[in-house]
Structure 1
Amino acid sequence: MATTTAPPRAGAPVGAPPVAAPPARPRRRRQLAPLWLISPAGVVILAVTVAPIVFLVFTSFTDYDQRSLFTGAYDSVGLGQYQALLADAEFWRSLLRTVLFTAAMVGGSVVIGMGVSHLLTRLSVGMRYTVTVVLIFAWAMPNVASSIVWKWMFQPGYGVVNWLLTQVGVFGDMTNVDWGNDAGLAYTSIWMLIVWQAVPFIALTLYAAETQIPLEYKEAARLDGASELRVYRQVTLVFLRPTLLLVTILSVIWDFNVFNQIWLVSAGGPDGATSTLGVFTYVTAFVGFDIGRGSAISVVTTALLALLTAFYIRNLVRSGEDL
């Protein structure tokens, strides 16, 4: 076997014996090192994410119910759960409510977040820090705690919002109005709550992106006689397009799955008027204990969100190519 030798060192005496090269580390060991480093995180992901998803998909093809929880007995029904789900009129009503309510929540949070983001660029340093801290506090509030407090604020008899509206006098005596027992008022209350929670993330994300826009483009547009609205529309929004697409798709995914706020404020009422897919899934799986049907609803919801995510990735790649 031939021995690998290193070239003579600079300054070494002529005729000195060559120095043997150090043995190379096994290449296979170097390739496996990153896998060993990420293996703890990989085990956690498999345990808390992949395994539940696999069990969810498996359960959607069975008649898993309350009996199965105690006895472990269940039967395979194939696509029966999906066929029954697609024939269920309540599922389609819940899907329609979810789509319309998601559009209202995403539209409101993105528009208001854009306004707050642009406002941050116009404030002084002290006011900007103050508004940023307030936004972070609002965003960091757990949605369960904020939903309960929100419901207290709209309670009939002693709710502070009802008292304020009564003092204003525009809507008459609102003291004993129960927002959760009226479909329109319930949607309005939940919409304000979710938008209030979503605006901080959107505003701070867009503000970070807006501060990276070169000022030369805005100055050139102003020198050409463009108004501030036209500068914002033709310069700022062009640079913000990838970030806007990002926060919009993330908002769609989050708002499509909203459950805590709706359940804690109105419990899907009155008479199922605010029962979106999240509430419909919970009631089917954990109130009616039809776990197989609830799993099928979750799989369909995940498939819809996967289509939205694919649309986002496709448009994000196109945006990067255009820029």
Structure 2
Amino acid sequence: MSTPPDVGPVVSAIEGERIVAPEPRQTGRRATRRAGSFTPYALLTPALIVLAAITGWPLIQLVIMSFQEFGRAQVFGAPPEFVGLQNYIDILTDDEFWQVLSRSVWFAAICVIATMVLGILVALLMQRLGKALRTLVSVGLLLAWAMPPLSATIVWGWIFDTQYGVLNYVLVNWFGLTQFEGHSWLIDPLSFFFVATIIIVWGAVPFAAFTIYAGLTQVSDEVLEAAQLDGANAFQRFFLVVVPSIRSILVIVTILQVIWDLRVFTQIYALQSIGGIAEETNTLGVYIYRVSLGSGDFGAGGAISVLVAVLLMLISIYYVRRNVKEEEL
């Protein structure tokens, strides 16, 4: 006869002539929740207060501003006028907004794919290198990762400079491609985003490479050796053994890269200042800046910011749910 799951082992103690049975003991998740139900919230409270002060209040102000006519006059003290959903209607019916959104999505997709491919390749390379060379590669990645985005953009801008750029010099004098003499890489939108992609991917690869390399170190060598003994080649071992083992890491890194590349600002704005055409190369971050400060329409800029925040929040919710599911397994 089986014992109920919430009752301990049936053991009796005899006190004189009276038989005393042990009381049922609480086991499982209910007892654990009662024991430490308050502690997690107490530990999270300071961080929640800081986030509410730094992020929550400005976000609330942004949402309120998106429902108002807030221009230069309101900056100098004039009372804002409540316009309801008019800012959102104006933005969603503006062809330029949809062009910028489409351009930003395509640009982010290309950057994310390039970053993930190069990050995986660099991580695999680091796994195969010896200790000395791995340390050298790690130092180089850290230097690239530590460089501020504005400084990196200025350096790459010198490389692609029209008159004194290293790239034009090499193409003309080393390879004889005279059509690149005095060539401007930033005037044409396609070559502009080619340069921007190089800068952004160059700065993002170190994070992806380090994170994926950390995941690769956790892949079981015994499983890889078993797959090799079964006749699996290098590609089969990677896609059938390694990728499933680090799938959660790949998903998390990909989602983070999508979020970061959709809201990129510094690199695009700096390249536009060097020589790009803003109207043809705006992305979401730069577009919000130019609508708000350039045109002085902070209400419309707030509406665009709220729409972008909702888009990024949906991506973040997927990331959080994915992370929670991985922890529960």
TM-score range, shorter chain: 0.7 to 0.9
Relative distance call for 1:205 and 1:31 in structure 2 (3 A) is closer
**C-alpha separation between the residues in 1 aligned to 2:77 and 2:125?**
60
Among 152, 160, 168, the alignment partner of 2:166 is: 160
Distance in 2 between residues matched to 1:252 and 1:33, nearest whole Å:
34
User: Within 5 A, what are the aligned runs for 1:302-321?
Assistant: 302-319=309-326
1:277 is aligned, of 259, 280, 284, to 284
Cα distance, 1:157–1:44 mapped onto 2, change above 3 Å? same
> Is the aligned partner of 1:290 residue 2:291?
no
**In the alignment, is residue 80 of structure 1 matched against residue 83 of structure 2?**
no
Shift of 1:40: 5.9
- Flag the 1:43–1:320 CA change in 2: closer, same or farther, 3 A: closer
The one-letter code matched in structure 2 to 1:217 is: V
Could you list the per-position Cα deviations for residues 204-225 of structure 1 after superposition, in whole angstroms to 9, with x for gaps in the alignment?
0000010011101100010011
> Any idea what SS the aligned residue of 2:292 has?
helix
Letter in 2 for 1:310: I
Matches of residues 36-75 of structure 1 in structure 2 within 5 Å?
Answer: 41-75=47-81
TM-score, normalisation: structure 1: 0.85
Deviates more, 1:158-167 or 1:77-86: 158-167
**What is the 5 A alignment of 1:15-54?**
41-54=47-60
Helix, strand or coil at the partner of 1:178: coil
What secondary structure is seen at the aligned counterpart in 2 of 1:296?
helix
Q: How does 1:209-220 map to 2 (within 5 A)?
A: 209-220=215-226
CA–CA distance in 1 between the matches of 2:317 and 2:38? 31
CA deviation digits over 1:76-113, x for unaligned, max 9?
00111001111000000000001100000000000110
Q: Could you tell me which residue of structure 1 aligns to residue 99 of structure 2?
A: 93
- Stretches of structure 1 that go unaligned for 5 or more consecutive residues are 1-29
The reply to whether residue 137 of structure 1 matches residue 137 of structure 2 is: no
Q: Is the 8 A contact 1:158 1:175 kept in 2?
A: no
In 2, Cα distance between the equivalents of 1:33 and 1:292?
42
Amino acid in structure 2 at the alignment position of 1:161:
L
Quote the offset at 1:46 in angstroms: 2.9
Match of 1:236 among 242, 245, 257: 242
Is the partner of 1:314 in helix, strand or coil?
helix
CA RMSD in angstroms comes to: 2.2
- The amino acid of 1:94's aligned partner reads V
Equivalent AA in structure 1 for residue 136 of structure 2: T
The counterpart of 2:116, out of the listed 110, 116, 138, is: 110
For residue 261 of structure 1, the aligned residue among 241, 256, 267 is: 267
Quote how far apart the aligned CAs of 1:316 are.
Answer: 3.7
* 8 Å CA contact 2:272, 2:278 repeated in 1: no
Kindly indicate whether the alpha-carbon contact (under 8 Å) linking 1:269 and 1:275 is maintained by their aligned counterparts in 2. Answer: no
How far apart are 1:169 and its partner, in Å? Answer: 2.2
Instruction: Please give the per-residue CA displacement for 1:186-219, whole angstroms capped at 9, x wherever unaligned.
Output: 0100000000000000000000010011101100
Among candidates 180, 190, 193, match of residue 187 of structure 1: 193
In 1, the alpha carbon distance for the partners of 2:312 and 2:232 equals: 40
TM, length-normalised to structure 2 = 0.83
The one-character-per-residue Cα deviations of 1:41-94 (angstroms, maximum 9, x if unpaired) are 555433321111111011000011111000242100011100111100000000
1:32 is displaced (CA, Å) by 9.1
Residue of structure 1 in register with 2:183 after alignment:
177
Tell me the amino acid that sits aligned with residue 81 of structure 2.
D
